[in-house]
Structure 1
Amino acid sequence: MYFSVIIPVFNRPSEIKDLLQSLSQQDYNNFEVVIVEDGSEIICKGVVDEFKSRLEIQYFYIPNAGQGFARNFGMRKAKGEFFVLFDSDCIIPQSFLSSLFNAIQKRNLDAYGGPDTADSNFSILQKAMNYSMTSILTTGGIRGKLKDKSKYQARGYNMGLSKVAFLKSQGFVDPNKGEDIELSIRLKKMGFKLELVEEAYVYHNRKNTIWSFFKQGFSFGQNRINVSRYHSGALKIVHFMPLAFLLYWLMLLFSILVFPITNLFLLLGILIFASWKIAVFLHATFQNKSVLIGFLSIITSFGQLSAYGLGLMMEGIKKIFKG
């Protein structure tokens, strides 16, 4: 099977160097790389040229269109029979493409989604953010850890589809607002087989600051509402859990300011919230073998859940009143 690896880029030449370096070390070599420079002011062509002797690469520059439409452009230019999509801030394990090939063949997949994790050499903040994005105690329970692999909704940082599936679906219909989830739902409705491939994971080298990470969480909440504009069943009860988390701690804060501390209901609420934070600390500390990452994970997890819930609420109100 000949893969086409599609990578949209926006002002991130240093990330592309790390990504291409990891692709040049794959143990499966029947693939090309298609770089789509999405209106960047800081272009990566010089970096791409460094790898032309080690990888089969196509490079294109287009006016800024958004990552979904940049991926569509790349897939239209690609020569492969199966398209693999990565974000530019990913690093790919050496056995990724061989693992993916085996899964596609064994399970007869038309499309797939894969999980993300943190490499051992990532910073402590990156590892804390990764914990918040992947843990069962946050939103990670719906992001790459499903028992029923067919229920997975692929994310754009690590997903793919066959050329046949792309031609019939025409790819992404939105540039950057939950476009990956929308396409996942639409492919399944069209009868294509899309499943989670757990062994096809990537190292997600997030370069966020704490603030930009929370802003990203806010946009994820907005995106879930945007997807529901295309698919009425896209919103499930589980997607409202971050909103419930946000409202819970806001009501708890209000109660602390208004009611005596001896109020039993208030004390119970404080105990539940404190138990969650202790659970996050212990789980993150054990998983990463670092007390500091455990403490940071409380902050990143609290902010990520709250920001997602706020984004969901704000965009939901907008949808109700403006459609």
Structure 2
Amino acid sequence: MQSNLKASVIISTYNQPEWLRLVLHSYSLQTIINFEIIVADDGSDERTKSVIDEFSANTELNVIHVWQEDDGFRKTKILNKAIMASNSHYLIFTDGDCIARKDFVATHLNLRRKTYALSGGYFKLNASISKTITAKDITQQNCFDDDWLISKGQSKTFKLNKLTKSKIKAKLLNKLTPTKATFDGMNVSCYKADILAVNGFDERMQYGAEDREVGERMMNNGIKFLQVRYSTICVHLFHERPYKNEAAMVLNNKIRKSTKQNKSRFTDFGITKK
């Protein structure tokens, strides 16, 4: 383990190389550089590998591409592999469609606390901006600026507060928000030891709150979740979700119900198997 490595940013992706290109670019702009990137790739084709290779060749950051064969939705399995490939004590989880503000990693690290996980959120860009956003817009941090977004057709709503630059305002809104602090995979961080203690993600789970369940086991194991949705800022590229299906939700809800009723702290279907 590198002595100065403070965090591992785990980015999940599947066959969206142009989104990933923009997201990786946002990590080249971070205010600190003592972190690594783990791309958790659930079976993407060569286009994604090319994007990662190009980025790796042009950054000082350590970039690890963890890939598995495409065999349906197996995000929980590739995330467990990414956890095991990480080289730091602190993990930041996000998705390949979430562009990070330049203080994203530093803020997660500044707010981390022992026996806590940090629960962030995202600001949803509209379809038009998502289709036209460029690396230059990210470099200039335009996509985190209220006025620029509104000028490009983004609706002017209270949700723009999710992009606040004021630490005082962010702290107040984090306290006031009725949104529960949970493990949401697009913006959450925790100590590696705390997620290993519950055996990582349950690999039986399909799409739909599969990340929430590992957080519920962590809570059962004494980890508290801290609300930081107005502090750790990322913007989400708009897209449809054709992979949502009812059968997967039924299965996931059944597993989560069992976790809650039994106050489960460990899964037998995680990083280590029975």
State the TM-score bracket (shorter-chain normalisation): 0.5 to 0.7
Structure 1 position 109, deviation (Å):
5.0
What amino acid maps onto 1:38 in structure 2?
Answer: D
**C-alpha distance 81-27 of structure 1, shift in aligned 2 (>3 A):** same
Which structure dedicates a bigger proportion of its chain to helix?
1
Of 146-155 and 85-94, more deviation after overlay is shown by 146-155
Aligned partner of 1:116 among 113, 116, 122:
122
- 1:205 equivalent to 2:211? Answer no
Count residues in correspondence. 217
Structure 2 portions without partners, runs of 5+:
125-142, 163-172, 264-274
Aligned to 1:187: 218
Supply the distance in 2 between the matched residues of 1:183 and 1:126 (Cα, whole angstroms): 34
- 1:60 paired to 2:66: yes
Q: Quote how far apart the aligned CAs of 1:218 are.
A: 7.2
State the alpha-carbon separation in 1 of the partners of residues 17 and 26 from structure 2.
15
Return the offset for 1:59.
Answer: 1.1
Larger radius of gyration between Structure 1 and Structure 2: 1
Structure number with greater CO (CA < 8 Å, separation at least 6) is: 2
Indicate the RMSD between aligned Cα atoms, in angstroms: 3.6
1:167 alignment counterpart? 196
Q: Is the 8 A contact 1:86 1:158 kept in 2?
A: yes
With the length of structure 2 as denominator, give the TM-score of the two structures: 0.67
Pick aligned residue for 1:96 from 96, 99, 104: 104
Question: 1:114, CA displacement in angstroms?
Answer: 0.3
Distance 1:28 1:219 in 2: 43
C-alpha contact (below 8 Å) 1:149/1:197 kept by paired residues = no
Amino acid at match of 1:158: N
Q: Matched residues in 2 for 1:30 and 1:196: separation? A: 24
Within 2, Cα distance between the matches of 1:125 and 1:66?
36
Structure 1 stretches lacking a partner, 5+ long: 135-143, 235-323
Instruction: Work out whether residues 42 and 74 of structure 2, in 8 Å CA contact, stay in contact via their aligned partners in 1.
Output: yes
SS in 2 for 1:58: strand
- Residue 207 of structure 1, CA deviation: 2.1
**How many Å apart are 1:165 and its aligned residue?**
0.8
- Given that 1:37 and 1:43 are in contact with CA atoms closer than 8 Å, whether structure 2 keeps it comes out as no
- Identity level (%): 22
Q: Distance in 1 between matches of 2:200 and 2:64?
A: 20
Per-residue deviation at 1:164? 0.7
* Aligned residues of 1:122 and 1:205 also touching (Cα < 8 A): no
Distance 1:98 1:91 in 2: 15
Shift of 1:26: 0.3
Letter of the 1:192 counterpart: I
Shift of 1:116: 0.6
Match of 2:253 in 1: 225
Q: Give, as a single letter, the amino acid of the residue that structure 1 aligns with 2:106.
A: S
Q: TM-score, normalised by structure 1?
A: 0.58
What amino acid does structure 2 have at the position aligned with 1:115?
G
- The structure-2 alpha-carbon separation of the partners of 1:127 and 1:113, relative to structure 1 and needing over 3 Å to count, comes to farther
